[in-house]
Amino acid sequence: MYLTKMEEKMLAGEEGYAVQKNMEILTALGNIFGAEKMIPVSSVQVAGVSYYNLGDAGLEYLETLAAKAACARVKTTLNPAGMDLENWRDLGIEEEFAKKQERVIQAFVKMGVIPSCTCTPYLVGNEPARGDHIAWSESSAVTYANSILGAMTNREGGPSALAAAITGRTPAYGMHIEENRKPKVRVKVDTKLRDVPDFGALGYAVGKKIGPKIPLFEGIEGSPLEQLKSLCASIATYGGTALFHISDGTRDDAPTEIITITRTDIEAALRALNDEAAEVDFVALGCPHCTLEEIKTIADLLEGRKVTREFWICTARQTMQEAEKTGDAQRIRKAGAKFACDTCMAVAPLKGRFNVLATDSAKACYYGRGTNNFKTRIGSVEECVNAAVTGNWS
């Protein structure tokens, strides 16, 4: 792989241990994937923040890098951590876990990383422009950045994203090459999608049918942000693609392979994500993290009611603070529901605490089942709020 003079110096250790080690990671990656050169990145988003997933080895790695003066050169934000950084006790997090999680965050902060702890960085100030080369690692955010914002990023691992932050570079392969971003399958959506679970079901159905091939969707033009972020999360989880296109009717590179998604496919996907369980003991919304609009909807649905089940609204702290200004956050707390800022139902240590998760997110079903052994119920936000109040899924 071609390296500039400056990159060669970085690799030779002239800018210190941390830069050298991280250039080694990136050049190894570049060589594996056949990159011809490095490219500068303007934004980084690092996953692998929860101590639940990192463990002591990950914590030690981060603290070593921080001690060796590693420092982010570009705007770098974090994916959700394993707990609400301020309100962890209220979410039932153990003190021992909290101490380790705080050390993880301190190590990142020491490296100049912004501890925004959200999978929707594009809602809270880390919003790249069309054509920007970036290095993000949360899969739903990667798909959102590529597909909706038009930025260019591979699906980085936590260490490779952090390496991009520390060096300001990433190897030029995959989604950074225009040629690799062309659609491969036309996906005609031949049914009206009603809500967020329907978009999650679309991602599930398409992901299962075409895997990581890049789809060109027809029939979902003009969909709201909330529905698109659900699709991004779901298609990345169930298919593995980091990019989709939405047809505006003007493309001259529409693929010849065509699949059609009907109401039958959406219903089948929703059935596959729903387990048999009449009672619910945990409700979690905000996968990916809730927007202000979603928080308002939840607050309206909770008006004058009290929840009887643990109910988490997962969102960025900054978004929750905006909801405090409108009074929606107070209305939610009054009903007994809890904000889970900085974290989510998938990366918090929840195994063994609950049996049945109700959610509006197809991705949350995947992690609820896979990571935490929960049964899952997927439905509209109204159905989820009702379940939090009554404990029943109807």
Instruction: Report the interface residues with ligand F3S, using CB under 6 A.
Output: 79-80, 119, 138, 140, 233, 287-289, 314, 344, 346-347, 363-364, 367
- In the bound state with ligand F3S, the residue whose beta carbon lies nearer, of 138 and 198, is 138
Minimum Å gap between C-beta 37 and ligand F3S is 31
Minimum Å gap between C-beta 183 and ligand F3S is 24
- In the bound state with ligand F3S, the residue whose beta carbon lies nearer, of 167 and 376, is 376
- In the bound state with ligand F3S, the residue whose beta carbon lies nearer, of 152 and 287, is 287
Minimum Å gap between C-beta 46 and ligand F3S is 12
Minimum Å gap between C-beta 233 and ligand F3S is 5
Distance between CA atoms of 292 and 175, rounded to whole angstroms?
30
**C-beta separation of 142 from 122 below 8 A:** no
Strand 282-285, strand 356-359: pairing? parallel
Geometric angle at alpha carbon 49, from 45 and 120, rounded to 5°: 45
Please give the distance of CA 352 from its chain centroid, rounded to a whole number: 24
- In the bound state with ligand F3S, the residue whose beta carbon lies nearer, of 173 and 367, is 367
- In the bound state with ligand F3S, the residue whose beta carbon lies nearer, of 10 and 47, is 47
- In the bound state with ligand F3S, the residue whose beta carbon lies nearer, of 22 and 241, is 241
H helices present in 173-302, as ranges: 196-210, 225-238, 263-273, 292-302
Closest CA to 198 of 361, 382, 12: 361
User: What stretch of H or E contains 376?
Assistant: strand 375-378
Partnered with residue 38 across adjacent β-strands are 171
Minimum Å gap between C-beta 347 and ligand F3S is 6
Would you mind telling me the total number of residues written for the chain in this entry?
A: 394
Minimum Å gap between C-beta 108 and ligand F3S is 16
Distance between CA atoms of 378 and 359, rounded to whole angstroms?
5
Radius of gyration from C-alpha coordinates of the chain: 21
- In the bound state with ligand F3S, the residue whose beta carbon lies nearer, of 27 and 143, is 143
Minimum Å gap between C-beta 9 and ligand F3S is 36
- In the bound state with ligand F3S, the residue whose beta carbon lies nearer, of 299 and 344, is 344
CA distances from 45 to 85, 99, 269, 344, 358 (A): 18, 23, 30, 16, 28
- In the bound state with ligand F3S, the residue whose beta carbon lies nearer, of 173 and 374, is 374
Following DSSP, what letter does each residue of 312-345 receive, concatenated? EEEE-HHHHHHHHHHTHHHHHHHTT-EEEET--T
**C-beta separation of 46 from 33 below 8 A:** no
Closest CA to 40 of 117, 124, 133: 133
Cα atoms found within 13 Å of the Cα of residue 138, Cβ hemisphere only: 33
Minimum Å gap between C-beta 289 and ligand F3S is 6
Terminal C-alpha separation, the chain: 58
Minimum Å gap between C-beta 236 and ligand F3S is 9
